[in-house]
């Protein structure tokens, strides 16, 4: 998994294949403009509770509606934002939009939780917990409805500082999740030491779940581990019914993936939810 690890680590700060230095500079300038003009938008991907069959939460995934290049996925601009020191602004925009949308959905009876991804620099930012608290207060959203997803690589950058930030977030009542679990520096010591509520197993294990006995064994033993640690296990990247069936049989808690729903804009999520039987709607 060496190559993959770079996605959230320092290696990704090398220029992308498609960005020579000039394009890179251009993209950076565009990104500053985009942040000023709020051209970034959140898409939301549902999380399905396998015990109840209900959608109980969503994950916010940032998108950039670029005026010339069209809709860009995070891989096309997050590394640059991280390198250019724009991640605090970006994270605050994503968080505010996510919490505001969550407030709106909850006001109409959709008592969902909201997961937001954080980067290496976000977890080094000691001002972050106070900003999160401010946003939760401003929109009147309970802290335990917010899940912050962090990758294992985050913990390697400056473990002491990121653990301090995590502890402060946890004191607010926000829940913490380890994203892409199993692909980074998965030290079992971290699982014991960190105040984490959820494990999110990387999709690479899920894609071969039904064809590769080793992948299946890893999924099942991680399920057992999360259960024994009192954590919720989320499996991401569920792309077919066979995988979903196996996960149900193995008593997995939560699943996410294209087979359930793709990430979608906020207004589409509302109609998607409306098209499901009674789902997550509590009167
Ligand atoms: P992630 O948090 O692990 O999110 C899952 C990614 O897998 C998303 O890609 C999602 O669209 C994709 N995905 C979901 N279901 C499936 C599936 O069944 N099959 C496949 N092949 N893919 C699936 P996306 O939106 O391109 O995001 C990529 C990564 O960018 C995210 O990985 C996350 O690490 C990062 N990211 C996204 N939004 C933010 C953000 O607001 N802040 C930060 N710091 N990172 C973000
Ligand atoms: Mg995530
Ligand atoms: Mg992930
Ligand atoms: Mg990821």
Measured distance CA(248)–CA(242) in Å, rounded: 10
Contact 119 CB / ligand 1 (< 6 Å): yes
- The 10s digit of each residue's pLDDT in 187-207 is 787 888 888 999 999 999 998
* Strand 40-49 relative to strand 54-66, pairing: antiparallel
Residue 9 DSSP class: S
**What is the reported pLDDT for 144?**
97
Predicted confidence band at 21 (pLDDT cuts at 50, 70, 90)? low
Contact 125 CB / ligand 1 (< 6 Å): no
**What is the reported pLDDT for 6?**
41
Ligand 2: centre distance to CA 22 (Å): 30
- The 10s digit of each residue's pLDDT in 217-238 is 999 999 999 999 999 999 999 9
Residue 129 has pLDDT above 60, yes or no: yes
Residue 71 has pLDDT above 90, yes or no: yes
151: left (phi over 0), alpha (psi -120 to 50) or beta: beta
**What is the reported pLDDT for 2?**
32
ipTM surpasses cut 0.95: yes
Measured distance CA(283)–CA(280) in Å, rounded: 10
Contact 209 CB / ligand 1 (< 6 Å): no
Residue 191, burial from CB neighbour count under 10 angstroms (0-12, 13-18, 19+): middle
Ligand 2: centre distance to CA 59 (Å): 7
For residue 265, what are the CA distances in angstroms to 36, 61, 167, 193, 255? 21, 10, 32, 36, 20
* Strand 113-117 relative to strand 70-72, pairing: unpaired
pTM given for the model: 0.91
Q: Are 77 and 32 in contact (CB under 8 A)?
A: no
């Amino acid at each position: 998994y060496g190559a993959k690890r770079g996605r959230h680590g320092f290696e990704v700060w090398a220029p992308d294949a498609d960005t020579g230095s000039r394009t890179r500079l251009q993209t950076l300038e565009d990104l500053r403009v985009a942040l000023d003009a709020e051209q970034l938008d959140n898409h939301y991907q549902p999380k399905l509770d396998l015990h109840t069959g209900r959608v109980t939460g969503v994950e916010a995934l940032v998108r950039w509606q670029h005026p010339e290049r069209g809709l860009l996925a995070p891989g096309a601009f997050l590394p640059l934002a991280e390198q250019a020191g724009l991640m605090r602004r970006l994270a605050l925009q994503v968080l505010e939009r996510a919490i505001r949308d969550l407030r709106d959905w909850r006001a109409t009876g959709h008592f969902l939780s909201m997961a937001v991804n954080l980067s290496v620099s976000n977890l080094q930012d000691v001002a972050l917990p106070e900003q999160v608290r401010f946003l939760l207060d401003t929109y009147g959203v309970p802290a335990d409805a917010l899940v912050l997803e962090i990758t294992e690589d985050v913990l390697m950058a400056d473990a002491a500082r990121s653990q301090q930030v995590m502890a402060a977030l946890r004191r607010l009542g926000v829940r913490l999740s380890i994203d892409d679990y199993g692909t980074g520096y998965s030290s079992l010591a971290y699982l014991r030491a960190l105040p984490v509520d959820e494990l999110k197993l990387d999709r690479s294990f899920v894609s071969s779940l039904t064809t590769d006995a080793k992948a299946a064994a890893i999924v099942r033993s991680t399920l057992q581990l999360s259960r024994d640690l009192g954590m919720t296990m989320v499996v991401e990247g569920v792309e077919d019914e066979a995988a979903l069936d196996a996960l149900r049989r193995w008593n997995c808690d939560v699943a996410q993936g294209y087979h359930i729903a793709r990430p979608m804009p906020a207004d589409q999520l509302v109609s998607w939810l409306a098209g499901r039987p009674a789902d997550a709607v509590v009167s």
